[in-house]
């Protein structure tokens, strides 16, 4: 079984198209950062989601910058570049997509409550 699970941010809005037989295909590209420090680089992964899930409500949430976790079957496609050299790209036939965050905007948190002075919290005339 070939299962590949990764996370990243969408590089563009998802696009829905239909095959000649009428099957819906939702295509999107995910930027996956690998490495760290000076060795950090971005790997672009082409993803395709097929069938009813591709034409449902999910594609409207797959917008540029959204954080996702994707799981599916991966293949490595090789191709000839314009300069004649060989190139390769990862392509995933998506089985599962989970939205894990927004577009990078900071999340609103509840404002910190100010502590009331201790003297105001308890009256001086406690009956015991």
pLDDT over 90 (residue 5): yes
Asked, for residue 16, whether it belongs to a domain, the answer is yes
Asked, for residue 90, whether it belongs to a domain, the answer is yes
Asked, for residue 126, whether it belongs to a domain, the answer is no
CA gap 27, 4 in Å, rounded: 17
Mean predicted confidence (pLDDT) in 55-65: 89
CA gap 26, 22 in Å, rounded: 13
Q: Both ends of the chain: CA-CA distance in Å?
A: 72
Task: Identify the DSSP state of 21.
Answer: T
Asked, for residue 73, whether it belongs to a domain, the answer is yes
Residue 33's domain comprises: 4-103
pLDDT over 60 (residue 118): no
φ, ψ of residue 92 in degrees (nearest 5): -120, 130
Give the model confidence (pLDDT) of 70-116 as tens digits.
999 999 999 999 999 998 999 999 999 999 976 654 333 344 444 44
What local confidence, expressed as pLDDT, does residue 113 receive? Answer: 43
- Asked if residues 17 and 105 have their Cβ atoms less than 8 Å apart, the reply is no
């Amino acid at each position: 079984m070939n299962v590949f699970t990764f996370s990243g941010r969408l590089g563009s809005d998802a696009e829905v198209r239909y095959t000649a037989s009428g099957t819906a295909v939702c295509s999107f590209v995910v930027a996956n950062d690998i490495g760290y420090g000076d060795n950090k680089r971005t790997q672009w992964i082409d993803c395709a989601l097929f069938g009813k899930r591709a034409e449902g409500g999910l594609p409207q949430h797959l917008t540029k910058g959204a954080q996702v976790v994707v799981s599916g079957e991966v293949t490595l496609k090789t191709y000839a570049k314009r300069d004649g050299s060989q190139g390769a790209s990862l392509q995933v036939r998506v089985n599962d997509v989970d939205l894990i965050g927004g577009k990078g905007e900071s999340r609103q948190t509840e404002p910190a409550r100010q502590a009331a002075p201790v003297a105001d919290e308890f009256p001086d005339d406690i009956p015991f």
